[in-house]
Amino acid sequence: MTVSTEQSHKRIKLLSAQLANQIAAGEVVERPASVVKELLENCIDAGAKQIDVDIEEGGVRLIRIRDNGTGIHKDDLPLALSRHATSKIYIADDLERVSSLGFRGEALPSISSVSRLDVRTRTNEDESGWQLKGDGREIAEAPKPIAHPQGTTIEVRDLFYNTPARRKFLRTEKTEFGHLEDVIKRIGLSHFEIGISLRHNQRPVLNLHAATTQQAKEKRIANVCGKPFIESSIYLELERAGLKIYGWVGLPTYTRSQSDLQYFYVNGRMVKDKLIAHAIRQAYKDVIYHGRHPAYVLYFELDPALVDVNAHPAKHEVRFREARMVHDFIFRSLHEGLAQVRPADQMPSEEVMEQQAIPHAGLQQQQQNNYSSSLHIPQMTQQHDMALRVAEQISAYKNLHPSPSPPTYQPASAAFVESQAEGKEGMPPLGFAIAQLHGVYILAQNESGMVVVDMHAAHERVTYERMKAAHETSNIITMPLLVPISIMVSEKEAQIAEDNKNTFSGFGFEIDRMGLETIVVRQIPSMLKDSNIESLVRDVVSDLIGYGSSDRIRESKNELMATISCHGSVRANRQLSIPEMNALLRDMERTERSGQCNHGRPTWVQMSLQALDKLFMRGQ
């Protein structure tokens, strides 16, 4: 290959400070939202309790952020616009235990290199505030005294005014502001004790008050994520071996078409990490419908020395020193938390139930005319019999589940169904069966209204969970292979398989390493005798490399048990008696994850009396 004379004589030289800052800005400042993220993190590190954000034209024209934090000392102000100048770390050992959000000292100089920056600040010790302006030049003006309350105000004007190539890649004002607002919401969820306000083009958009109580925190979450999320989620908190996870996880019935409602924080820092995402996805795998995404707001805390927050230029990703332990802890915490959910926890609120679909009013009269000539109206004696059955079920349930102050029930009568003021306290969550519809659905009555159960899906989940429990408590039945399976892998994969022999043996596999790039399977669990063993082992090794752990073997067993339970469950068109239907309802109330079948489909739905009244225009 020939090299031109001009290229061969190019010399190495030091970049100017302005050009170096603009290159660094390419990593830190991607769009206005990136500027807001960096500045808000500085406000939080400064101990601010209130942050006010003003935006104009999506952040391109103006970003103004005020806080009431500690402020910047006058003598430190010029250094604030210098690269790699920071108050967060001083020695190399400090990088091992980073507890602040910002620590690189690149944000302000990088922002200054691609905008017109104005910093105004005052500390508690200073008699006056100080102002410093920067526009990317190497020599900045000296700070000037000004009137300013304690804290810091930073104005970023004309973003990318001196780098038109970057500016042309920005989207519309609406799009850029959408990204910026999302960043503020994410940070707002990470520090409940800080109040944050947001205005766009002089118009108030968001006002998050400081939240110290659980109720106030849930109100802020509802403000950011929507009221349906907080009403359809459970709060969990678990701490073990120095690791702590807490927050709100959406019920399996509340899923999204995309992963837009997933907030995860590590020591107060919002991150998107593939190991974390995999652990959460695995925890929901058994209860969520394929193609859907769970919703959650979760907080994970651990020793700062066990996590490297310097793994990504924009600090979006982290690296755990004990990745396998972190993965297993997150998975098991969520898996166990979701398993504890019972039908009583999944009962929607009255407001949610009232939002159920209602037939169009214009069709009401036509439907009434059609129904009056085609439907058979039950006689009073039939209604009386139905009420009698429900009343007897409540009485029997009360005898088995006595309460300290048992309610008094009226004698069974035709009016029982309409007046349920008495007797609600004796109702189990899914109520009592009334009838079977088309041999597929169970109709039940509970204190809120009507419950419809898919009997096959429900029985499938009950059977499946019983099989899993029985399998976990019994010894694994294994079978040696007459002809061992030899698998060619890379040297790295062979080493991982050898290092994790105990992981394989825990599931009934016996694996040996034969040579640098060969592993041999000598024994497998009997349950998986018809599975593709080579493919399964390869997938497990791949997971161990990527995430430090694997649930492939357990998943394969679960898939087999799910298939068995599906075939062993009650089929459509099988007529069940009232006691059989009630027995299934009680099993559902006791069974883990009974809200979904093995394929993630719902097993029951609730319709309130209010929704039924709207269907028939009662009280209108």
132-145 confidence digits (pLDDT tens): 988 766 556 788 99
**In the block, which residue shows the tokens 């069940």?**
576
CA neighbor of 595 nearest in space, from 357, 235, 339: 339
Q: Using CA atoms, how far apart are residues 222 and 218, in angstroms rounded to an integer?
A: 6
Please, are residues 50 and 195 in contact by the beta-carbon 8 Å criterion? yes
Output the pLDDT for position 369. 37
Q: How confident is the model at residue 389 (pLDDT cuts 50, 70, 90)?
A: low
Residue-wise pLDDT for 306-336, tens only, equals 988 876 655 677 889 888 899 999 999 998 8
Output the pLDDT for position 415. 34
User: CB within 8 A of 122, min separation 6: which ones?
Assistant: 71, 128, 129, 130, 148, 149, 150, 151
DSSP state of 602: B
CA neighbor of 331 nearest in space, from 282, 264, 370, 291: 282
Residue-wise pLDDT for 560-590, tens only, equals 666 666 766 777 678 889 999 999 999 999 9
- For CA atoms 86, 89, 90, 95, the dihedral sign is negative
Q: Write down the architecture of domain 17-208 according to CATH.
A: 2-Layer Sandwich (3.30)
Please, are residues 440 and 571 in contact by the beta-carbon 8 Å criterion? no
DSSP state of 477: P
Q: How far is CA 467 from CA 557, 565, 593, in A?
A: 11, 8, 14
Residue-wise pLDDT for 193-216, tens only, equals 999 999 999 999 999 999 999 999
Q: Using CA atoms, how far apart are residues 89 and 96, in angstroms rounded to an integer?
A: 10
Q: How far is CA 517 from CA 126, 486, 488, 514, in A?
A: 68, 10, 6, 7
Q: How confident is the model at residue 295 (pLDDT cuts 50, 70, 90)?
A: very high
Output the pLDDT for position 450. 93
User: CB within 8 A of 144, min separation 6: which ones?
Assistant: 130, 131, 132
CB neighbours (10 Å) of residue 94? 14
Output the pLDDT for position 137. 65
Q: How confident is the model at residue 355 (pLDDT cuts 50, 70, 90)?
A: very low
Residue-wise pLDDT for 505-553, tens only, equals 877 889 999 989 999 999 988 877 877 889 888 888 888 887 777 777 7
Q: Using CA atoms, how far apart are residues 572 and 23, in angstroms rounded to an integer?
A: 66
Output the pLDDT for position 6. 53
Answer with the residue of higher pLDDT: 272 or 105.
272
On the question of pLDDT at 80 being above 60, the answer is yes
Residue-wise pLDDT for 251-282, tens only, equals 887 888 898 899 999 999 888 888 899 999 98
**In the block, which residue shows the tokens 């690269």?**
83
Every domain of the chain with CATH number 3.30.1540.20 lies at 348-359+380-620
How many CA atoms are closer than 13 Å to the CA of 142, on its beta-carbon side?
A: 1
Angle of CA points 62, 63, 66, to nearest 5°: 135
Q: What Rg do the C-alpha atoms of the chain give, in angstroms?
A: 31
On the question of pLDDT at 399 being above 70, the answer is no
Every domain of the chain with CATH number 3.30.230.10 lies at 214-341
On the question of pLDDT at 371 being above 60, the answer is no
Q: Using CA atoms, how far apart are residues 263 and 315, in angstroms rounded to an integer?
A: 15
Answer with the residue of higher pLDDT: 121 or 567.
121
Residue-wise pLDDT for 147-200, tens only, equals 999 999 999 999 998 888 888 889 999 999 999 999 999 999 999 999 999 999
Q: How confident is the model at residue 13 (pLDDT cuts 50, 70, 90)?
A: confident
- The CATH superfamily holding the domain 348-359+380-620 is MutL, C-terminal domain, dimerisation subdomain (3.30.1540.20)
Mean pLDDT (the chain, rounded) = 80
Please, are residues 411 and 573 in contact by the beta-carbon 8 Å criterion? no
Angle between helices 578-590 and 455-473 (to 10 degrees): 50
Angle between helices 533-547 and 274-284 (to 10 degrees): 130
**In the block, which residue shows the tokens 């066990």?**
306
On the question of pLDDT at 397 being above 70, the answer is no
Q: Using CA atoms, how far apart are residues 185 and 305, in angstroms rounded to an integer?
A: 28
CATH number for 214-341: choose from 3.30.230.10, 3.40.50.1100, 3.40.50.720, 3.40.1440.10. Answer: 3.30.230.10
SS3 (DSSP) at 588 = helix
**β-sheet bridge partners, residue 237:** 246
Q: Using CA atoms, how far apart are residues 477 and 310, in angstroms rounded to an integer?
A: 46
Of the chain, the percentage scoring pLDDT greater than 70 comes to 77
Give the 3-state secondary structure of 106-136.
Answer: CHHHHHHHCCEEEEEEECCCCCCEEEEEECC
Which of 13-27, 191-205, 293-307, 397-411 has the weakest average pLDDT?
A: 397-411
Please, are residues 454 and 441 in contact by the beta-carbon 8 Å criterion? yes
Give the 3-state secondary structure of 147-203.
Answer: CCCCEEEEEEECCCCCCHHHHCCCCCHHHHHHHHHHHHHHHHHHCCCCEEEEEECCE
How many CA atoms are closer than 13 Å to the CA of 266, on its beta-carbon side?
A: 23
On the question of pLDDT at 352 being above 60, the answer is no
